[in-house]
Amino acid sequence: MRNWSELAVEPYRTEDVHPYTRCRVILMNGIEVEAIMNSHNAARRTADSGIKQALAMVRRIEQQQQKAVNWLIPGSESSIANTIGYEQVAVDLTSWIARHEPDPYLKQVYEFGVLEDYDHLYRYANLMDLMGERRKAEAITGDLTEILPGRPTIFQHRDPHDELRRPMTVEAASVQSILNALTVLSAEQQTMNFYMTVGNRPEHPLARALYQEIAMIEEQHVTHYESILDPMTPEMLNWVLHEYNECWLYWSACETETDPRIRGIWELHLAMELEHLRVACDGLKAVHGLDAADFFPKGGIDNPMTFEPNKEYVRDVLDRTVDWTSWDSEFVPINDLPQGHRFFDYQHQVNEGSVPSEDVIAAHRSEFSQEYRFATEGDHPIIALRDSGTGENTEYAKAEQQARKEFAQ
């Protein structure tokens, strides 16, 4: 147990912090929140008082870890600046996961999601500029992540039945697949929670509207990712898997952190998580008679999760799948949907009238004669999404306007 002064860590300086240090802080806060909520849910479904006590003890330490990690973010960092960091996490984390996912279907799941968060980053970056922030989004992301349109947010609104994916099974899935799923789910859940909390804080109606629209997509993403988990996983094994995932990610953070002071926090928390894993393994043995070692590779996990640029990869995914949507658990081009599909009904309902994600781009074009973008690798790979810098007469603007007309009809 740490005392209050130990938990009151010095925050990073928002002007100086490396973009991927910020990403690691955001991610590990989300990982701790998921661990805590999973523990609470397990306690509600467990009658064994000994297991409840073990969960409560570990959960209290996880709470202290979460406070230390989350309090690294300084109060001087505005909500919109923090939001840019959240979306950079989503883009580069999910890209890394997709690139290292051994299951072809799960790889599709991640590629489908990353293009939507990529578009969110672009919409929020334009909003940030409109809000008169002293920095542009590229000052937060550095030159590590491009800021360009992804799958336009207007097309991301789907019927809830089409957000459910095929679940993996713990027995058949690789450990890497399980860790990948828990990691991305935790990050997306944290983003959902963050937008539910801060989305009503801006005063400008356009900012409030954009947060509201994208917050709804983040709930879809949580449904999207949680549905690939094995629903039949025993309660104590689920606990073990969460603790193993925390060990992997804190080790990954230790391996890749460039800030020595913050690396010390990762190292301390890794040591704690190794003990949490041992306690969870004891619970698995006591309740289910299972040996946790049977579920993990004998040599451990070789690759740390690394925040790194994924520009070429995202451009490739855009080129291949920008026009995808989902139909039940499968991914198909929008043009393959039959006439009268529920996708179009849902689009007509939620996009009737103005669409905030479109309005923010129109507002930026109106005020600055062009939209805000940050590209280091050349033109957008999708011709219709290129911005010629001539305002409303761009191919992208024409494509968006035509799409809204079709859905209105």
Q: Is 90 exceeded by the pLDDT of residue 199?
A: yes
Report residue 361 CA to chain centroid gap.
23
What are the CA-CA distances from residue 95 to residues 91, 184, 395 (Å)?
6, 10, 27
| Residue of 393, 89, 134 lying closest to 253 (CA atoms) | 89
pLDDT tens digits for 203-221?
999 999 999 999 999 999 9
pTM of the model: 0.94
Task: Look at residue 392 in the predicted model and tell me its pLDDT.
Answer: 40
Q: Is 60 exceeded by the pLDDT of residue 225?
A: yes
| Residue of 30, 167, 174, 186 lying closest to 100 (CA atoms) | 174
Q: Is 50 exceeded by the pLDDT of residue 165?
A: yes
Task: Look at residue 390 in the predicted model and tell me its pLDDT.
Answer: 40
For residue 59, the surrounding DSSP H or E stretch is helix 49-70
Q: Is 50 exceeded by the pLDDT of residue 303?
A: yes
Angle 63-69-73 from CA coordinates, rounded to 5°: 130
CA distance 280 to 65: 17
Q: Is 90 exceeded by the pLDDT of residue 404?
A: no
Residue 345, classified by CB atoms within 10 Å of its CB into exposed (0-12), middle (13-18) or buried (19+), is exposed
Residue ranges of alpha helices (H) inside 199-234 are 205-226
Confidence of residue 51 (pLDDT cuts 50, 70, 90): very high
Q: Is 70 exceeded by the pLDDT of residue 393?
A: no
- Between these two residues, 402 and 380, which has the higher pLDDT value? 380
For residue 327, the surrounding DSSP H or E stretch is strand 324-327
Task: Look at residue 3 in the predicted model and tell me its pLDDT.
Answer: 97
What are the CA-CA distances from residue 301 to residues 176, 191, 305 (Å)?
8, 27, 10
Lowest mean per-residue pLDDT among 38-42, 92-96, 132-136? 132-136
Q: Is 50 exceeded by the pLDDT of residue 408?
A: no
Contact assessment for residue 325 and residue 331, using Cβ atoms and an 8 Å cutoff: yes
Q: Is 70 exceeded by the pLDDT of residue 161?
A: yes
Q: Is 90 exceeded by the pLDDT of residue 185?
A: yes
Q: Is 80 exceeded by the pLDDT of residue 406?
A: no
Q: Is 50 exceeded by the pLDDT of residue 295?
A: yes
User: What's the mean per-residue pLDDT of the chain?
Assistant: 94
Contact assessment for residue 225 and residue 185, using Cβ atoms and an 8 Å cutoff: yes
pLDDT tens digits for 123-144?
999 999 999 999 999 999 999 9
- Average the pLDDT over 294-315 and give the result: 94
- Average the pLDDT over 99-119 and give the result: 98
Confidence of residue 357 (pLDDT cuts 50, 70, 90): very high
- Average the pLDDT over 307-311 and give the result: 98
Lowest mean per-residue pLDDT among 43-52, 80-89, 340-349, 392-401? 392-401
Task: Look at residue 300 in the predicted model and tell me its pLDDT.
Answer: 85
Confidence of residue 299 (pLDDT cuts 50, 70, 90): confident
CA distance 82 to 73: 9
Task: Look at residue 79 in the predicted model and tell me its pLDDT.
Answer: 96
Q: What percent of the chain has pLDDT over 90?
A: 93
Lowest mean per-residue pLDDT among 187-196, 197-206, 356-365, 394-403? 394-403
Q: Is 60 exceeded by the pLDDT of residue 275?
A: yes
Task: Look at residue 391 in the predicted model and tell me its pLDDT.
Answer: 40
Contact assessment for residue 127 and residue 297, using Cβ atoms and an 8 Å cutoff: no
- Average the pLDDT over 70-82 and give the result: 97
| Residue of 196, 258, 237 lying closest to 16 (CA atoms) | 258
Q: Is 60 exceeded by the pLDDT of residue 398?
A: no
- Average the pLDDT over 398-402 and give the result: 56
Task: Look at residue 236 in the predicted model and tell me its pLDDT.
Answer: 97
Angle between helices 235-256 and 19-44 (to 10 degrees): 170
- Average the pLDDT over 302-326 and give the result: 97
Q: Which residues of 280-291 are buried (b: 16+ CB within 10 A; e: fewer)?
A: bbbbbeebeebe
- Average the pLDDT over 103-128 and give the result: 98
Task: Look at residue 321 in the predicted model and tell me its pLDDT.
Answer: 98
